[in-house]
Amino acid sequence: MKITDTEILQAFIRTCEDGWLQGWHERNGGNLTYLLKAEEAEALKPFFREACGEWVQMGVQAENLRGTYFIATGSGKYFRNVPLAPEDNLCILEINDAGDSWRIVWGLEKGGRPTSEFPSHFLNHSVRKEVTKGENRVIYHAHPVNIVAMTYILPLTARDFTRALWKSETECPVVFPQGVGVAPWMVPGGAEIAHVTSGLMKTYDAAVWAHHGLFVSGPDLDTAFGLMHTIEKAAEIYMLVQSAGGGRTGQTIPDSGIRDIARDFGVTINEAFLNAE
């Protein structure tokens, strides 16, 4: 048995392939990380390198991720190639006891580093771990076309985006009742965008990056992928309506309807984004 045959690696590889098939990962676009459960990390340890890589400082720190392990996509690697050669395009990282550095314990066999967005992923993991009381495992970043297109049209506020998405597909208020955060355009890859995004992730499980893409989180790969998929599909409907209607919307879901959905499906809707009754 190879490490890439294990259930968790298979699920990770499948998620990369599915994202590629959706058209969300041109070239080396996007990145995915999974915080291994302690027992999963233990089961994978026999496959780890004898001589691990050097510790590399991240420029960010998290108390609640000290000594953890992550599966991560590689910097500059293509999601498209992950199923063909997971050992060259993915890695497993160990976080040091200080919670401020990583080292590669498996993967990237032809060389390389974890995703350039690892500092963002790491801080988002820390925040989501805290907010979800340890349930969150996944941070996923992609470049879906329609959600990016929306950032050229709507004001860059959580309220504008959340309302537009909730009203573009009836299931949306159930899938993301808290709404989505929105970050202004920023240079990707650094500590600044990491701090802004993780600030949004205190409130939302998804954050739009203006003119760039979308960050989502979730307790497992299916849920995180499903959230990305649902938001992008709603964005596609929104953009189709805008395009076909020349900016005119004939009718939409009323705020009272969103409250009714939340009540019937047993979710707590973020009232801040609905107009007063």
User: Is 117 an annotated catalytic residue?
Assistant: yes
Q: Nearest residue to Zn ion, using CB?
A: 213
Q: Which CA distances in Å does 222 have to 12, 132, 225, 226, 227?
A: 10, 17, 5, 6, 9
Residue 49 Cβ, how far from Zn ion at the closest point, in Å? 28
What is the widest separation between alpha-carbon atoms in the chain?
64
Residue 95 Cβ, how far from Zn ion at the closest point, in Å? 22
Q: Provide the binding-site residues for ligand 2HA, judged by CB under 6 A.
A: 28-31, 115-117, 141, 188
Of the pair 115, 162, the CB lying nearest ligand 2HA is at 115
Helix %, strand %, coil % for the chain, to 5?
A: 45, 15, 40
Measured CA to CA, the distance from residue 165 to residue 10 in angstroms comes to 32
Helix (H), strand (E) at residue 162 = helix 158-166
Residue 168 Cβ, how far from ligand 2HA at the closest point, in Å? 24
From the candidates 40, 94, 117, 232, which is the catalytic residue? 117
How many chain residues bind Zn ion (CB under 5 A)?
A: 1
Contact partner at residue 115 from Zn ion, ligand 2HA, none, CB < 5 to 8 Å by partner kind: ligand 2HA
Per-residue string for binding with Zn ion, 192-231, x by CB under 5 A? ---------------------x------------------
Number of Cα atoms under 13 Å in the Cβ half of residue 154: 25
Helix (H), strand (E) at residue 222 = helix 221-244
Q: What is the DSSP string of 226-253?
A: HHHHHHHHHHHHHHHHHHHTTT------
Residue 79 Cβ, how far from Zn ion at the closest point, in Å? 11
Of the pair 180, 183, the CB lying nearest ligand 2HA is at 183
Of the pair 24, 238, the CB lying nearest Zn ion is at 24
Of the pair 183, 269, the CB lying nearest Zn ion is at 183
CA 136 to chain CA centroid, Å, is 11
Residue numbers at the binding site for Zn ion (CB under 5 A): 213
Q: What residues act catalytically?
A: 117
